[in-house]
């Protein structure tokens, strides 16, 4: 799944103002079964991509590799590789568990002020949160 904009409005400057969202159904990268997540909750309860605690023990390389499976690839920003979400929004991660195989996953969504006073939230998908063997 590639990023799907689920909120695009003049409101939402505080993530708590984003209206409740339908759960996003997507395939688990581990068992390929359906799992779901609430993209609003990824923003209200999740952590920034740059928060080392957010990505657990995953190295930056592994995290970038997994984000690439969602079509999120690094671009250069001030000369540094930098992964942006849909429409250049900031990515956030929320730990979730697959309802089928119970694997630890990260739900991925992005959020930000797309234009002055225009706030967008995009559901990006889910990635595996397990540290490679």
Binding site for Zn ion (CB under 5 A): 28, 30-31, 98, 100-101, 103
Select 74 or 100, whichever has its Cβ closest to Zn ion: 100
How far apart are CB 30 and Zn ion at their closest, in Å?
Answer: 5
What's the closest the beta carbon of residue 87 comes to Zn ion, in angstroms?
28
Query: Burial level of 95, CB count in 10 A (0-12/13-18/19+)?
Result: middle
- Taking the complex as a whole, the smallest distance from the CB of residue 98 to Zn ion amounts, in Å, to 3
Q: Which is nearer to Zn ion, 9 or 101 (CB)?
A: 101
The set of long-range contacts for 59-65, using a CB threshold of 8 Å and a minimum separation of 24, is 62/131, 62/132
CA dihedral of residues 96, 100, 103, 109 (deg, nearest 10): -30
Nearer residue to Zn ion within complex by CB, 28 or 43: 28
């Amino acid at each position: 799944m590639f990023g799907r904009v689920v909120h695009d409005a003049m409101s939402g400057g505080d993530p708590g103002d984003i209206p409740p969202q339908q759960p996003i159904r997507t395939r688990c990268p581990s068992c390929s079964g359906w799992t779901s997540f609430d993209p609003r909750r990824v923003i209200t309860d999740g952590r920034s991509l740059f928060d080392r605690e957010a990505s657990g023990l995953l190295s930056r390389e592994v995290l970038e590799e997994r984000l690439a499976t969602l079509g999120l690839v690094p671009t250069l920003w001030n000369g540094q590789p930098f992964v942006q979400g849909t429409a250049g929004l900031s990515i956030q991660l929320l730990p979730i568990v697959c309802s089928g195989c119970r694997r630890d996953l990260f739900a991925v969504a992005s959020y930000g002020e797309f234009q002055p006073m225009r706030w967008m939230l995009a559901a990006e998908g889910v990635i595996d949160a397990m540290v490679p063997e």
